Amino acid sequence: MHVIAPQAVDTLIRLLSGDGYEVVGPTRRDGAIVYDRVGGLEDLPVGWTDEQAPGHYRLRERDDDALFGYVVGPHSWKKYLFPPEETLFRLTRQPDGSFVTEPGPSDAPRRAFIGMRACELAAIDVQDRVFLGQAVQDRGYAARRRDLFMVAVSCAEPGGTCFCASMDTGPRAREGFDLALTEVIDATQHFLVAEAGSDAGRAMLDRLEPRPASDTEQAAAERVWAEAPSMMGRSMPGDAREVLNRAFEHPRWEETAERCLSCSNCTLVCPTCFCSQVEEVPDLEGQRTERVRRWDSCFNQEHSHLVGGPHRESVAARYRQWITHKLATWHDQFGTSGCVGCGRCITWCPVGIDITEEVTAVRRDPEGRG
Ligand code: SF4
Ligand code: SF4
């Protein structure tokens, strides 16, 4: 373990930019912390924190200069690896009437992600299984994933809707990163403990001129890791998969549907949801067409359109599909949970529906007797 000064994060961003990376990290915009290009420390939300609860998100100024004193916002890294809209291929009519097919542009700049939380590393592992772990790999995702440089941050102050500790995906970043940082800040000290997770991370850490962590500094980082889980606002029951597998006809889904607006916010903010639709976009002369993929949601009625119409017509059916897929059948399909406990779907649900509360309610009353 090594120690770097807060200012070294600025050096890190500038070195990565100089090496040709497009550096993306947390920044403050429109009253939220979102992910966008960053050029230095001045772009990070230094001295800010977020307050999160079901259907509630507010930024507040901190009384210190913490670099990473907040948790996750409405954006996830998904928007870079699996963009909301992507041209998959183009067909162009030739003079002899045949068509030439070209792959869509591969939007794959070398990117560095700064400030990734442990739950977000886990979410990328989940999406890797979806897009790369099947018989056919997703070409665009593979290209965007290949040369990533990932700088993780272990959460020191989890939020009110976080529950990654109960999903075993955080809050300490343990693997899947090039560099991991743990921020230690109090009235007398402010430093970051840095760990390399790859050769590229080790080489970059050397360029930041770190010094070995003393026993006291190491103990301070260990305190952060030990205390953070107890600050989580929520917890998912460990037997969620079994509970939901037995609850297909549970009356809870109708009750939840009375509140659910079927707005799809929960799926759009979720770092693992991958539903999409494809559309043909032809030109007016009929000479060229593009096949475009866009994010979709299982909360949209038309997403379940098969022969004869949608087969999940009710909101209850769509809510049940989402929660049982996330926490139960995802295991059967991809060998892991589809939920990493980031809490975004709870915070950004306009009516505050809480995935942990839903599972707890069904678990408490498995027969739905009320
Ligand atoms: S289901 Fe909710 S808590 Fe789980 S990963 Fe998706 S947004 Fe995060
Ligand atoms: S659970 Fe909440 S966020 Fe999701 S579709 Fe329903 S109202 Fe929208």
Residues 3-44 have pLDDT tens digits of 999 999 999 999 999 999 999 999 999 999 999 999 999 999
Ligand closest to 166 (CA) is: 1
Quote the domain boundaries for residue 51.
Answer: 2-231
Residue-wise pLDDT for 141-166, tens only, equals: 999 999 999 999 999 999 999 999 99
Q: Is residue 334 part of a domain?
A: yes
Q: Please report the atom of ligand 1 found closest to the CA of residue 123.
A: 5
**d(C-alpha 104, C-alpha 90), whole Å:** 6
Q: Is residue 226 part of a domain?
A: yes
Whether 349 lines ligand 2, by a CB cut-off of 6 Å, is yes
Whether 260 lines ligand 2, by a CB cut-off of 6 Å, is yes
244, 328 contact by CB (below 8 A): yes
Residue-wise pLDDT for 229-283, tens only, equals: 999 999 999 999 999 999 999 999 999 999 999 999 999 999 999 999 999 999 9
Residue 59, sorted as left (phi over 0), alpha (psi -120 to 50) or beta, turns out to be beta
The answer on 282 and 211 residing in a single domain is no
343, 232 contact by CB (below 8 A): no
The answer on 197 and 104 residing in a single domain is yes
pLDDT band, residue 97 (cuts 50/70/90) = very high
Whether 281 lines ligand 2, by a CB cut-off of 6 Å, is no
The answer on 167 and 93 residing in a single domain is yes
The answer on 227 and 347 residing in a single domain is no
Which residue of 295, 322, 349 sits with most ligand 2 atoms within 8 Å of its CB, as the best mutation to test the pocket? 349
Q: Is residue 314 part of a domain?
A: yes
Q: Is residue 113 part of a domain?
A: yes
Ligand closest to 320 (CA) is: 2
Q: Is residue 270 part of a domain?
A: yes
Helices within the chain (DSSP H only) = 7-18, 78-81, 118-131, 139-146, 164-167, 199-207, 215-227, 240-245, 252-259, 265-269, 315-324, 330-334, 344-347, 355-364
The answer on 37 and 178 residing in a single domain is yes
The answer on 186 and 119 residing in a single domain is yes
Query: Does the pLDDT of residue 107 top 70, yes or no?
Result: no
**d(C-alpha 155, C-alpha 360), whole Å:** 25
Q: Is residue 47 part of a domain?
A: yes
Query: Does the pLDDT of residue 288 top 80, yes or no?
Result: yes
**Mean residue pLDDT across the chain:** 96
70-76: average pLDDT: 98
Which of 182, 198, 231 marks a domain boundary?
A: 231
pLDDT band, residue 108 (cuts 50/70/90) = confident
Q: Is residue 195 part of a domain?
A: yes
pLDDT, position 104: 87
The answer on 244 and 123 residing in a single domain is no
**d(C-alpha 321, C-alpha 253), whole Å:** 10
pLDDT, position 369: 87
Task: Tell me, in angstroms, the distance from the centre of ligand 2 to residue 97's CA.
Answer: 47
Which residue of 161, 255, 260 sits with most ligand 2 atoms within 8 Å of its CB, as the best mutation to test the pocket? 260
Task: Tell me, in angstroms, the distance from the centre of ligand 2 to residue 191's CA.
Answer: 40
Whether 264 lines ligand 2, by a CB cut-off of 6 Å, is yes
The answer on 219 and 119 residing in a single domain is yes
**d(C-alpha 134, C-alpha 144), whole Å:** 17
The answer on 282 and 325 residing in a single domain is yes
Q: Is 96 exposed, middle or buried (0-12, 13-18, 19+ CB in 10 A)?
A: exposed
pLDDT band, residue 192 (cuts 50/70/90) = very high
Measured N-to-C along each axis, helices 199-207 and 7-18 cross at an angle, to the nearest 10 degrees, of: 120
Which residues in 163-194 are b (16+ Cβ under 10 Å) and which e?
Answer: bbbbbebbbbbbebbbbbbbbbbeeeeebbbb
Which of 201, 231, 261 marks a domain boundary?
A: 231
**d(C-alpha 50, C-alpha 48), whole Å:** 7
Q: Please report the atom of ligand 1 found closest to the CA of residue 269.
A: 7
The answer on 300 and 163 residing in a single domain is no
> Which of 154, 4, 10, 150 has the alpha carbon at shortest distance from 68?
154
Which of 174, 201, 231 marks a domain boundary?
A: 231
322-347: average pLDDT: 98
Query: Does the pLDDT of residue 106 top 80, yes or no?
Result: no
Which residue minimizes the CA distance to atom 3 of ligand 2?
349
pLDDT, position 215: 96
Task: Tell me, in angstroms, the distance from the centre of ligand 2 to residue 141's CA.
Answer: 27
Task: Tell me, in angstroms, the distance from the centre of ligand 1 to residue 333's CA.
Answer: 17
The answer on 14 and 124 residing in a single domain is yes
Which residue of 345, 346, 358 sits with most ligand 1 atoms within 8 Å of its CB, as the best mutation to test the pocket? 345
Count of domains forming the chain = 2
The answer on 151 and 115 residing in a single domain is yes
Q: Is residue 370 part of a domain?
A: no
Ligand closest to 119 (CA) is: 1
Task: Tell me, in angstroms, the distance from the centre of ligand 1 to residue 190's CA.
Answer: 32
pLDDT, position 346: 98
> Which of 144, 204, 216, 145 has the alpha carbon at shortest distance from 180?
204
Whether 353 lines ligand 2, by a CB cut-off of 6 Å, is yes
299-303: average pLDDT: 93
Task: Tell me, in angstroms, the distance from the centre of ligand 2 to residue 48's CA.
Answer: 28
